[in-house]
Amino acid sequence: MRVPPTLSAVLGNLFRKPATNPFPESEPVPVPEGFRGKLVYHVDKCVGCRLCVTVCPAGVFEYIPEVRKVTLWLGRCVFCKQCVDVCPVSALEMSDEFLLATYDKYDDNLRWFREKEIEKMIEEKKKAQKK
């Protein structure tokens, strides 16, 4: 009787070491060069051109016209790096950070500006314009 190829593969793998990294029990593996991890936004460099809003396939960016900046929600990001490539002033970059797992998709770690921060930025801009 002939052994099915799937069964022979399963039996062969029973006696091999795991090929995956046992991450919680050990350190994570080092990331390769060019890895696309968590998106980093340099607010001070942003000029409000909205190119990132235009090219983002996942709808990560939301434009705030009062302060000419964007806010981003990383819970939607697919890490395609199109926003980084199109940004004319390098206000966006990809980091090596990949430990973003959370049970709350609205976690502060995944949101760039919260409502209070946006309101504070608007007030600061209005004060600066009055001077």
pLDDT of 113 > 80? The answer is: no
Residue boundaries of the structural domains of the chain: 32-130
| Predicted TM-score of the model (pTM) | 0.72
Mean pLDDT of 25-33: 85
pLDDT of 89 > 90? The answer is: yes
87 neighbors 42 (Cβ within 8 angstroms): no
Q: Predicted confidence band at 13 (pLDDT cuts at 50, 70, 90)?
A: confident
- Six-digit token string for 2: 């002939």
pLDDT of 130 > 80? The answer is: no
Predicted pLDDT at 82: 95
Mean pLDDT of 15-40: 85
Gap between the Cα atoms of 21 and 19, Å rounded: 7
Give the angle 69-88-64 at the CA atoms, nearest 5°.
Answer: 10
Predicted pLDDT at 3: 73
Lowest mean pLDDT segment, chosen from 29-33, 67-71, 111-115:
111-115
Q: H helices within the chain, ranges in order?
A: 5-13, 51-55, 82-86, 115-130
- The structural architecture, per CATH, of the domain 32-130 is 2-Layer Sandwich (3.30)
Looking at residue 109, its amino acid is N
Q: Predicted confidence band at 50 (pLDDT cuts at 50, 70, 90)?
A: very high
64 neighbors 43 (Cβ within 8 angstroms): no
Average pLDDT of the chain?
Answer: 86
